[in-house]
Structure formats: structure tokens, C-alpha cells
Amino acid sequence: MARLASPDTETAAKTPATRRRGELSNLQFALVVTVPVLVFLVLVIAYPLGYALNLSFHDIRFFGGYSATWVGLENYADVLSDERFWNGFLLTVRFTVETVLLTLGIGMALALVVRDLPPRWRWLRALIILPWAVSPYGAGIFFAYLGRGQTGVGTALANALGFDTSINFITQDLVVEFLALGAAWNMAPLVAFFLLANMLTTPPRLYDLAKLDRMSRFETFLYVTLPPLRFTLFVFTCIITVLSIKTFDYIFTATQGGPGSASSVLTYVLYRTSFQNLDLGYGAAMSFYLLALILISTGIIFFTWGRREARR
Amino acid sequence: MTRSRITIWLVLAIAVALIWTFLPMYWTVKFAFMTKPEISRFPPLLFPPDPNLASFFNIFGSDYTLADGTVVPASGQARQIILGLRNSLIVSVVVTAVTIFVVTPLSYVFARMEFPAKGKLLAAVLLSVSLPPVSTLIPFYVLYVQLDLVGTLFGLIIITLTITIPIVAWVMIGFFRNMPPIEQLGRIDGFSRLYIFTRIMVPMARSGIMVASVIAFLFAWNEYVYAQVLVTGSTAVTLPAAMSGFLFQAPEPGHLAASIFLSVLPPFVIAFFLQKHIAEMNFV
Amino acid sequence: MTKTRGGFSRGFTRRSFMATGSAALLGSTALGSGLFSGGLAYAQDFDLMATSGEPVYFRGWQFRTDVVQSNVDAYNERMNGNVDYATVTGDYPSLMETTLIANGDLDVLYANPSSAVRYMGGGWVMPAAELPNGQEIADSMYDNIREAWSVNGQLLGLSYFVSVRGTLLANLQRLDEAGFGDNPLPTTWDQLYETIYALHEAGVETPFLPHWFAEWFGISWGFLFEVMNRGGQVADAETHQPMMTVDGPAGATLEAWKRLWNSGLVPEEVLSYNEAAYIDAFRSGRYVFSPQQIYDIKTFNDPAQSADVAGHISLLPGTEQSWGLIDSAMYLMTSRDRPDALTDDVMRFTSWYGYKDENGDFAVANRWLEENMLFSAYRPVMESDAAREAIQSSVARPEDYDTVLEVYARTPYPKGVWNVVWSEEFNVWLREKLFSFLQDDLPVAEVIEEANAEITRLNERYGI
Amino acid sequence: MAKIELNNVVKTFGTQHAVKNLDMTIEDGELLVLLGPSGCGKSTTMNMIAGLTDVTSGHILFDGHDVTTLPPHARNIAMVFQSSLLYPHLSARRNIYMSLKRSGLSRSDIEARIAKAAETVNVAHLLDKMPNQLSGGERQRVATAKAIVREPDCFLLDEPLSALDAALRLTLRAELVNLQKRIETTMVFVTHDQVEAMTMGDRIGVMRDGGLEQIGTPTEIYNRPETLFVAGFVGTPPMNFLKGAVIDEAGKRLFVRGALRLPLTGESAGTPPADQVILAVRPHRMTLTEPGEQALPLKVYAIEHLGNETIVVCDSDDHDRIRIVVGSEFAASVGSTLYAGLDTSHALMFDPATERPIRAGKREVA
């Protein structure tokens, strides 16, 4: 047998070069699918940003006659000397750091638990994902009822065990930690699943190696399980940081920023300023500090950690 | 997998994981099966003493007679709950469909093609992830008033897309990046870019698209901040906005719990059946 | 008939705001429509039949929406109306304000007087005085309430309900258990606090649930009424100048609060309660005393709703001092741009719903009284036999009927801080400051000084 | 069947030059192997031949026709990708079918061709399996069937065997060569494995940093490497390099390095004197010897027994790794010193500055 070709098929297989005209180039194809979406997105980014930017240079008043007075950078300067802003800022940072650590830690723990499930028990994995499907405001309601001394599980258990006391987590000292725990409850399953997907790609031989090296469980985790997960952890650190700083509905339904202003994170301060006080110019200026906080935090994470991971 | 044996530690760990997962939900959802006095009892009850389904009937507008003959009246919020359920389904399904339809080609292009200004455009897409809804609410509201979109499903769908598109794009770009260079195979076989994309890449990306759909659906279904301002008190009210009526002002923890229970069912079902795809798609 | 609705300035206001951000996007809303109000062909009898066929948007917060809906249905059916009713949930006053600023689809809404004054200041409200039967409506109200609801002599809205927030409720059963059953109930705040500490000595862990919850009508209102109950004023009713002093009622209130907080008798979580949690907490029977809505006496004494305390909830007598403040709500009409015919329909519906129906009955007000013990501003409603029956069926002891009326009659209204455009802003400020006062243990004098300064600042800002 | 010419082909990605001024001719029916380390531009070159990557400048000709701007399918080529890529969601049969879907052939013709191609590479029994049900070797065969079913003018294979184990690679290598000879089609084969290149190629093109270092038959490449890089890259074990100098001593040229003084013989005898040269010699051309002026002292680093022979891996005095092939019975302890002599008639001399061979009389040119 020499060749498969037969004369009649040869011409057909040799398609003439005419198709080239009908085929889109990379750029054209990219333009066709991206431009409409990008225009949409740019509008929905640019419009509110531009609007808010304009507001932020004005003092907006609705009462005693509407007025918008140009005040330049005054709003921005005022924010920096606003005690409520700094209080909210510190609470946001505290909430975010705690949420990130708890979410990653708990996500990791969940992943380790479901990884080791024997095949017949694998269906349990499906249950662990469920809290992720709960909305932030739903999670807020759950944790409000769970944490309050009046309705909470602490009080119920304490009394069931015979202690006549009320255990309350919604206190000035604990509320942020408690909220972070709730946020972690909400988001950790997703982290767990992506970590699990990565863990399953680690060659089992490495674990045998670790055993031969007589590594302790902890060392095995540290030197075998953890390294391939680092990029995933980095990505989720970024995601959870952004989501935590942005979070509003969760805190709105859980504590309304309370008790007092103990959980009035920046988004809540912003909500009060813009919605309750209708101080729109000032609120807009504050929202740019909030945006800056988000960008700077993710920037810091990227430059101190992400670039190292990306190079790897 | 290092050890697949069931040890006492593993059982313990599973127990803790399950308690962690279900306790917070259970604690509120149990209210749905309790009467008002039972809910407000102090110290709080660990279990519904005499479970009943009154709240579920009430939120759909029916009175319910308890075993002892007490009639629990229907909720006045029932109309909004029913409306909210319908609207939430419409919004979520439409948003999911549009998001997937738009984002799949978008992220494919960003993940696998080179073109000018790609980096900057990508940055713009991702920047919109970090815009907090609280700060864009007022501008959007004003715009919507001018466009007469307040209180419309269409308006809510548009604004929800601004949340889902960047996030889903983010996930899908990662997913497409990790796929083998299959389009080269397709080009050798003489297929157009459109054919390669629609008939080869999309079928191959099925599990990624599934996960992206779940994410889009969840974000749309769970959206509350914009809905609160844009559609509360209108015929376009969504379930979260309708539910919040049980949370503020007049106390109806039972109804709240019943409607939360209702509201987590669809995402639960979806997440439950699609979780295996999540484990498959490894996008980062 | 000419009316001064100020339609022009209102339209202008909104457009200016929107133009601030987006001149290019601005569509041209009909400027002229608001210029002259719908000239209702005002005849002797106010014809309540709707004519325009266009929807009238009626929005309220979530309270017995079943009752509201059935009332609205009745109007729509009998008066050929096209009223679209829905509840607005969440942060009600802020959401309403946003809608009003934006000239959204909203014609009739619930509003507390302080919000109403603010909306009026924004130029978004068509006062009730502009109803063809406005004078008649005003005349049938109790004077003190009409005054509370008026700005510059103009009645803002119609009566939804009048209640006493901060009526001091007592759980008689818990008092008995603690061995205090035979003691007379406290009649002043100072006596109340003494009893609370005595109860605590006697082993009651949580004798008092103070009005310190997180809603906009929570802790700040708690402060307002305690100051007034002690005979003080937060700000002058006419000039709105601050009137708090360290050695006066304001100081006494804060001193009492500080002692209560530092004694640890009040769980910190109260500070994060919404009203649902606040009512549930008292309903659980955990607490002995608590300032609550007067109409919730009915809720708490209803076995179907509050099995643990039903039949045991009484109230402190109003013999020595007042308790609480007038918490009321109105039906307000907005001044949004809309066709004149529709404006006429809005007026017809508001009058029917907020005053008398086509048969001349206070149908809606009477129903509220019967179903939920919601009091009305209309004298004929409150002085009817039906009202007596409604109240008597809701109280724990027969003698409480008189106490209810006694407390109701004495209740003050904080006009100085409520009938002013900055009321909500001051409220938000006060709320945060009071939380901080408790949690950060701020000195009493400092808080009072700052509160006075804040009022002065707001007065200056708004040129009052 | 096609003769493929690359004329001054350049490919840049941004500022990075992936392929630099490449001139190359692939003869009709020839199996050309493109060999080089990863990142040398060999895959880019193949992609340009296939039409998958646009050429920045220069021309590609198939049988004298300029195809530079033609899309891949218009060039009538077939390609097998790294790890024998297949559409993962399609069966083997559908995968092969996809090659002809756009050909315009009738359904029955396509069926016949698929059957024939499957038979040719012996995968007829696998046609209804999905790619993830196939073993590595089976995938490779299916990918080959998918390629030959088009009856292309040219096969392009991009490291198709790289993910397979050694034994399977050996088998499939022979199969591919056999197939190529049977169907007499031009084939370009990209690999970084020099053994694969030597065993398969009619000719080998060695690439480095986007440029062609040398193109020639395996024998030429092996015996007459034209650059230091090629010399070091091709051959197992690789060539040994010794730095030193060439001096003229009484009309005879000597390679001098420390105490070592080696008279140059054979071709290298013509090497002009130079201060710095690199002497390259195959391990097979070195022998163990007694200490002396012509012996290179080495320290044993490792000993690799191959059965028929033994490779002694040593460190030279200036820490160059030197390998010597000796008889299979050789034994020595690691760290011990031994002495090696070498046959300079088989040694090549390179100029370290240009990395090119120093030929007699050409020294001054460089």
C-alpha cells in the first residue's frame, strides 16, 4: 500500500484559499464578542463612578430648597477627620482580616475532612457545600438568631445543661469576631471545594514519601498538602478580602451595625451617611475611600504574595 | 488519598463539619415549625416541641388550624411572597442565561486570544468586581428613575448582570485558560473560529459552564442590596425584598424562617447536584 | 380654585439634583404638570368615586398588610378605584426618601410625623390641608395631635394611628413570683429604677428591658420620652433651640442609664435588636418591665400570640407623670409630577381611606382600633363605644382600661426635635451617640453638651 | 506530497523574537526532525508551517506556492499535537471524522477512508471509545489515524510521544517511521529528545534561540556538528569538552591544558595555534591509560553500567564533567583518580568565542 489518496478525493481535500475571507481574525472575533459586553460594563462602571465623583465635590442639600454647592475637595478632607469613618475603617479591617483567616482556615479544614472520606461516604461532600448557597442576608439572619442571648444556641445549650444564664455573642467586644465566623460559614464551603479539587491532583506517592520520611501529620500537611494549594489560597484571599470589605446586607440583617456602632463597618457608615442622612456628597467622597481600600488591599496582597505565586 | 479508613477521628471530624454546616440554618429554620409563643420562649427551645406547618401555609395566604384548634391567620405579606418567588425565579433564570450567553465567549476570548489592549480591558472587567453596591446605589437609582426602570424586572435584571458578569467572567477565564490547545486541532481540521467555539469549546467546557451558571444563579437569587432599593414595594419585588418584611418592624420569625427555608431550597438543589462539577473544574 | 402646592419649585428641585450627576442623560420630564394642582371641582359633597383610571400608588411599612389590603380592595371595588398597594420593607424612611427625591411612583404613603416634616421640607409632600375637606378633617382631630402633625399651621396628613411608644408595661406574673405582687406599681421613672434594682436583689436576673434597641425609633426615642416624662424638653417646640441640661431631666435620664448599663442588668444584645427581637424578648416573659407600644398590650395579652405572658401584662399608672411619647403615623400625599386627574384620585382615595368612607363612617380607623387597638387622632373614633370595647378586651385587668386612657391623655410629643427638617439627622446622630455613651462610658455632661451643640449646628445648617 | 520552503521567516511576540530569520527547505517525502530544547522556537516554526501562527515576516512555500497567508486547512497538512491531543468529548471515530468534516466528501467516502486509516494504524477496534478510555499509545495511534485520513501533503507532529513511557515510545517511533515510508509523505517532527531525532529523522534541524543551528542527516549532525551547542546536544552520552590551547611545537600542533600535552592528529592537526580552544571528543573516543603527559587526570564521580559497556563519569581538574565509555567489566571506586587518553584524530576543535569549529586555515576568519 503506497498512499491512501485516490484522484477523485484529492481535489476535494485541497480546499481552495477562498475561505480565508469568510474567517474572522483573532481581533475581529474578539471584538465581536467582547465589545458589546465591554461597552455595557464600562457604562455600568463609568456611570456610577462618574456620578459619584461629581457628587463628591458638592455639598448636596435637599431641605430648605435643593442645593448643590461646589466644595472641591472639602468632603474628602472632612472624611479624614471623621471619627465615625475611622471607627468604621478599623472595624472593616478587623472584620476583613478575621473573615479571610477564618474562611481559609475553615475551608481548609472542611476540605481535609471530605478528602479523606471513603467512597461510600462521598455523598457527604454535597452537604458541606450548602451554606455557600445561602445568601449573605440569610446568613445574617441565621447568625443574628444564633448569637443573641435571647434566642441563641449558647443560651439554649447552657440552660439545657442546667446553667441558668444567657450566653450572648452580640457584644461590643465579640460582635465582629462573631460576624466574621458567620461570614466564614457562608463562604468557606466554596474555598473547601476548590482546595479539594487541587488536593486531589497531588500525587498520592508524595504522601508515601512523607510517611517514609516519618513526617508528622502536621509536617505532612505543611510540606505535602499545602504547597500545591498556595495559588488557590492566594486567589481566595483576594476574593474574600474584596467580598468582606464590600459586605453590607449581611451586617445589615445580622446586627444593623450594632450593638451601638460596634459593627458599623465602612459600608454601614456609608449607608447611614448617604441613605439616612442624605448627605450624598460626603457619602460619595467616603465611597471613594472605600474603593481605595479595596484596591489597595488587593494590591498589597498581590504584590507581597501573588507575584511570588505567579512566578512559581 | 492517604487513608480511606473510617477512624474515630474521621467520624468525629465529619460530625463537627456537619454540625458546623447545619446548626446555623437549623437554628432559624426551626422557627418555621413553631408557634409564636414557642419561638419567643426563654430560654430558647432546642427543638420544636410540637412541629406544625402553619408558617408555610400562612406565607402563601392560607389560615392554618393547629391541633388545639387555634387558628393561625394568613400573612398579609403572602401576595408579595408569591410575587417575590415568581420574580426571583424570572430574574435569576434570565440573569443566569444572559450571563452565560455573554460571558462564555467573552472569557474564551480573554483566556485564549491575543489582541491589543487586552490587559487593560480585563482590568476594567475585574475592577467592576470591586465596586461596592452601597456606593453605586444612589447613582443607579437616579439613572433608573430617569430611564423609568425603578420597580421593573427589566431594570433589576440589568443591574444584577453588572454583578454576575464580572464575577462569572473571572471564573470562566481561569477555566478556559486551563483547557488544552484544542482550537489548533480545530483549525487544522478546517473549522471556523465560530464553529470551534460553539461546537468544540463550549461542549468541552460543559462542567465549567455549569459551575458558572450556579454562581450566576446564586448571585442573582441572593441579591438584596439593589433589590431593596429598586423593587421593594413594586410588582417587581423579589423574594429577599419581600421576606425582609418579616424581619423589620412587625415580628414574624416563623414566617421569616419559612420564607428563608423556601428561598434556600432552589439554590440548595442546584448546588447539591452540581457540586461535583465544582470539584472538576479547578479554575485557579 | 387656586392652591399653593409649590409644584414648580418641587419639579425644579428634583431636576436640579439629577442634573448634578448626569445632565446628558436627563430626559425632559413634563415641567408643566406640577404647576397647577388638579382643580377638583369642589362641590358641597366630596365625590369619592375615582375617575382617572390610572393607578394610585399607596405604600406602607409591613403591619397587618392583610387588613390594609382588604381595605384597599374595598375602596377599589366600591369607588371604582385603581389603588396599587404594596409594602416597602427594610429601612422604610430612607427608602421612601429616596423614592421621593427621585420622583418615583408614589402617591400615598405612611409616615411618622418627623419624617413627614422632613419630606415637607424637601417639598415632596402635598399637605392634607389641600384636600377639599381638609379643614373638616383637621377639626375632627384632637388638638394636641393636630398640632403635632402640622407645620406652619398646615396639617400634613391624615390619621393612620396614634399610639404611645414607651408605655411602661409590667409582667404581673413575674412580679408575683418575685414577691412584689402586693407592692403598688411604680409611678415615676425614679421609682421604676428603684423597683428594678430591688427586683434584682430579690433574684430576678433581667428585671428590665429598656428601650435601647437599634431601630431608628429605638434608643433615641427612648431618650426623648424619658426626658419628657421627667418633665424636660430636648429642644424648644417653636424655636428648636436645644434645652438639655446636666442637672435637669436630660442629665437625670443619662445618669439613670449609666447606672443601669454599668450594673450589667441589661444584656448588651438589646442594643442590636430590631423591633421584632425587642417584642419577642418581652413576650418570652424573661423581663418584668419594659417600655412598649401601647397597642402591643393587646398582642401580649393574646394567648395565641404570646402564650407565656398572656393575661399578665399590665401598665404603669399615669398618675404622677407621663410615660412614653406619642408615636403616630399619617397617610401622606406626595406632590410628584402626575396628571391632574390622577391627583384628584389621590385626594379621593386618601380622604376615603384616612378619614371617612362614602357612607361617612371612619371605616378604616374603626377597624384598626378593633383589630389591633390602634388609636386614632379622630375624636369621634376614640369616643365611641366600639373603642371602649376594643380596649377593654385587650387589657389584663379591668382597671387597666382607665390607666390606658390616662396614660394616653398625658403623653407628650417632642415637637422641638420632630417638627423640624433635621429631625431624622439628629435622630441618627443621637442614636449613635447614645450607644457610644453606654458602651464607651462617656461622661453625662459631655454627651449633653455635644447633643446641644449638634442641635445648634443643625439649626445653623438649615437656617433655623 | 510537498516540498516546503521557509524563506527568511521571522516571528515576534511583542518584543520577543521567537524565530529569527529562518531559512529551511524540507524535501518532498522527507522526514525532517526539528530538534532543540524547550523554548528554542521549534514548535513556533511548526505552527507557522501549519498556518496556526501568523508569520511576522518572510515566506513559506509549499511546492513553490506561497502559502504564507493561507489558513491551516487550505494547506492540506495534518498535524498531531503534543500528547496526541484529541477532542475529549468525541469518540475516536468522531475525532477522525472531524478531519474530513469540512472536506466535502460524501458520507460513504468518509466512512471508507476512516476504516482504511484505522486499519493502517491498527485502531479499528478502538473507534467507538472516548479519548479518556484510551491508553497513551492508543491515543497516539488514533491521533495518527486522524492525521493520515486526510491524505495530507505534509504531516506535522509536535512532540506526540513526549508523554509516553520509554518502551512505548520505542515501539511507536518505529511505527511512525514505517508509516511515513509507506505513505511517502513529507513529515515534520518536533522533539526535544535527541535520541528520537537521531533514530527517526531523514534529516535533523537543530534549533536554538529561534535560529537554526544546523540542518543535516543524523550522521552529519553527529559527526560534524557545526556549533558547540549541537555538539553538546546530540549524542548519548554527550560530547566531552576540554578547554585548553593549541600551540605549535616544531611544526606539530599540540593541545595543551595544564600538564596535558596532546599531539593533534588527523583532521585536527591542521588547527592553527590559539590561546583558547575547546576540544570536543565523543566519550567513545577516550580510553583509560597510564599517567603521563598525554593522559588527563580525572576523579571518578559515578559509574554507569549499561551491560555491554560502562560509562565512567568523572570530574576534570577544572570541574568539567567528562564521560568515558569503557568495557563492561570496568570497576573503580568513586573518588579514585584515573587517567584518560584520547584519540585526537576524532576530536573537534571549537573556538569558544564563536562556538564554531576551527578548521585548518580558517582561524583568521573568525
Nearest CA in chain C to B150: C104
- Residue A200 · residue A263 · CB < 8 Å: no
Q: Identify the pLDDT of residue A106.
A: 96
User: C238 and C300: one domain?
Assistant: yes
The domains of chain B are located at: 3-72, 78-281
Of D69, D76, D113, the CB nearest to A4: D113
Of B180, B181, B188, the CB nearest to D73: B188
CA A282, CA A279: separation in Å to the nearest integer? 6
Which of C87, C124, C287 to mutate: most B Cβ within 10 Å?
Answer: C87
Of A27, A41, A253, the CB nearest to B115: A27
Asked whether the beta carbons of residue A3 and residue D184 sit closer than 8 angstroms, the reply is yes
Neighbors of chain D by Cβ distance (3+ pairs < 8 Å): A, B
Chain A residues near residue C121 by CB distance under 8 angstroms: 62-64
Chain B residues near residue D101 by CB distance under 8 angstroms: 189-191
Chain C residues near residue B42 by CB distance under 8 angstroms: 281, 284-286
Q: Identify the pLDDT of residue D362.
A: 45
CA distance readout (Å), D196 to D36, D83, D145, D170, D263: 12, 15, 21, 9, 36
Instruction: Output the nine-digit C-alpha cell for B218.
Output: 446564586
CA B211, CA B172: separation in Å to the nearest integer? 9
Chain D residues near residue B180 by CB distance under 8 angstroms: 83, 85, 88
Asked whether the beta carbons of residue A2 and residue D185 sit closer than 8 angstroms, the reply is no
Lowest mean pLDDT among B72-86, B270-284, D345-359: B270-284
Per-residue pLDDT at A303 exceeds 60:
yes
Nearest CA in chain C to A274: C94
Chain C residues near residue B151 by CB distance under 8 angstroms: 104-105
Q: Identify the pLDDT of residue A125.
A: 82
User: Binning pLDDT at 50, 70 and 90, where does residue D355 land?
Assistant: confident
- Give me the mean pLDDT over the D339-344 stretch: 86
Asked whether the beta carbons of residue A9 and residue D185 sit closer than 8 angstroms, the reply is no
Instruction: Output the nine-digit C-alpha cell for A68.
Output: 448643590
Asked if the C-beta of B48 comes within 8 angstroms of chain A's C-beta atoms, the answer is no
Chain C residues near residue A150 by CB distance under 8 angstroms: 267, 269, 273, 277, 280-281, 284, 286
Q: Using the 3D structure, point to which of C351, C367, C392 is the last residue of a domain.
A: C392
Nearest CA in chain B to C64: B76
- Residue A281 · residue A60 · CB < 8 Å: yes
| CATH number of the domain to which C379 belongs | 3.40.190.10
- The residue with cell 453588572 is B162
Per-residue pLDDT at A1 exceeds 70:
no
- Residue C284 · residue C308 · CB < 8 Å: yes
User: C222 and C111: one domain?
Assistant: no
C156 within some domain: yes
Asked whether the beta carbons of residue A13 and residue D103 sit closer than 8 angstroms, the reply is yes
User: Binning pLDDT at 50, 70 and 90, where does residue A8 land?
Assistant: very low
Q: At what angle do helices A230-246 and A175-199 cross, to 10 degrees?
A: 150
User: C229 and C373: one domain?
Assistant: no
Q: How is C336-396 classified by DSSP, letter by letter?
A: -S--HHHHHHHHHHHHHHHT--TTS--HHHHHHHHHH--B-SBHHHHTSHHHHHHHHTTSS
Phi, psi values for residue B67, rounded to 5°: -55, -35
Phi, psi values for residue D199, rounded to 5°: -75, -30
User: Binning pLDDT at 50, 70 and 90, where does residue A215 land?
Assistant: confident
Q: Using the 3D structure, point to which of C392, C423, C449 is the last residue of a domain.
A: C392
Nearest CA in chain B to D102: B190
Q: Identify the pLDDT of residue C2.
A: 36
C221 within some domain: yes
| Closest Cα in chain A, distance from residue D153 (Å) | 9
Of B180, B185, B187, the CB nearest to D71: B187
User: Binning pLDDT at 50, 70 and 90, where does residue D122 land?
Assistant: confident
Q: Using the 3D structure, point to which of C392, C425, C447 is the last residue of a domain.
A: C392
CA distance readout (Å), A245 to B228, C248, C414, D56: 20, 44, 39, 47
| Closest Cα in chain C, distance from residue A133 (Å) | 22
Task: Tell me whether residue C300 is exposed, middle or buried, using C-beta atoms within 10 angstroms of its C-beta: 0 to 12, 13 to 18, 19 or more.
Answer: buried
Of A5, A12, A17, the CB nearest to D103: A12
Interface of B with A in 72-111 (CB under 8 A): 102-103, 105-106, 108-110
Q: For residue range D262-315, what is the model confidence (pLDDT) as tens digits?
A: 888 887 777 888 888 899 999 988 888 888 888 888 999 999 888 888 999 998
C331 within some domain: yes
C139 within some domain: yes
User: C366 and C252: one domain?
Assistant: no
- The residue with cell 425587642 is C278
Of C20, C215, C270, the CB nearest to A54: C20
User: C169 and C280: one domain?
Assistant: yes
Q: Identify the pLDDT of residue A7.
A: 37
Identify the CATH number of the domain defined by range A74-311.
1.10.3720.10
Per-residue pLDDT at A199 exceeds 90:
no
Per-residue pLDDT at A167 exceeds 90:
no
CA D192, D194, D198, D199 torsion-angle sign: negative
Q: How is A52-105 classified by DSSP, letter by letter?
A: HHHHHTEEEE-TTS-EEEE-TTHHHHHHHT-HHHHHHHHHHHHHHHHHHHHHHH
User: Binning pLDDT at 50, 70 and 90, where does residue B250 land?
Assistant: low
pLDDT top residue among A27 and C3 = A27
User: SS3 sequence, B191-238?
Assistant: CCHHHHHHHHHHHHCHHHHHHHHHHHHHHHHHCCHHHHHHCCCCCCCC
- The residue with cell 363612617 is C361
Q: In the CATH scheme, what is the homologous superfamily, with its name and number, of domain B78-281?
A: MetI-like (1.10.3720.10)
Of A54, A166, A170, the CB nearest to C272: A170
Q: Identify the pLDDT of residue A13.
A: 35
Q: Identify the pLDDT of residue A193.
A: 85
| Closest Cα in chain B, distance from residue A155 (Å) | 6
pTM of the model: 0.80
Per-residue pLDDT at A26 exceeds 80:
no
| Closest Cα in chain C, distance from residue A52 (Å) | 8
The candidate with the shortest Cα–Cα distance to C407, out of C169, C143, C213, C182, is C169
User: C295 and C197: one domain?
Assistant: yes
Q: Identify the pLDDT of residue A143.
A: 94
Q: Identify the pLDDT of residue B95.
A: 96
Which of C219, C271, C287, C458 to mutate: most A Cβ within 10 Å?
Answer: C271
- Give me the mean pLDDT over the D102-108 stretch: 84
Domain that holds residue C189: 164-325+405-461
C426 within some domain: yes
C33 within some domain: no
User: C98 and C189: one domain?
Assistant: no
Interface of A with D in 10-69 (CB under 8 A): 10, 12-17, 19-20, 23
The structural domain count of chain C equals: 2
User: C170 and C291: one domain?
Assistant: yes
Helices (H), ranges, chain A: 7-13, 19-22, 26-56, 74-80, 83-115, 124-128, 136-147, 153-160, 175-199, 204-212, 217-220, 230-246, 249-254, 266-271, 280-301, 307-311
User: C262 and C168: one domain?
Assistant: yes
User: C248 and C112: one domain?
Assistant: no
Q: For residue range B18-32, what is the model confidence (pLDDT) as tens digits?
A: 999 999 999 999 999
User: C334 and C318: one domain?
Assistant: no
Asked whether the beta carbons of residue B248 and residue C62 sit closer than 8 angstroms, the reply is yes
Task: Tell me whether residue D307 is exposed, middle or buried, using C-beta atoms within 10 angstroms of its C-beta: 0 to 12, 13 to 18, 19 or more.
Answer: exposed
| Closest Cα in chain A, distance from residue D151 (Å) | 6
| Closest Cα in chain B, distance from residue C15 (Å) | 10
Q: Identify the pLDDT of residue D365.
A: 38
User: Binning pLDDT at 50, 70 and 90, where does residue D364 land?
Assistant: very low
Chain D residues near residue B202 by CB distance under 8 angstroms: none
The number of residues making up chain B comes to 284
Q: Identify the pLDDT of residue C20.
A: 46
User: C310 and C279: one domain?
Assistant: yes
Identify the H or E element spanning B138. Answer: helix B133-147
Q: Which residues of chain C have pLDDT under 70?
A: 1-46
The domains of chain A are located at: 74-311
Of B71, B141, B232, the CB nearest to C88: B232
Share the mean pLDDT of chain B.
Answer: 84
The candidate with the shortest Cα–Cα distance to D26, out of D52, D59, D49, D58, is D49
Q: For residue range D1-47, what is the model confidence (pLDDT) as tens digits?
A: 688 999 999 998 877 888 888 899 999 989 999 999 888 888 899 98
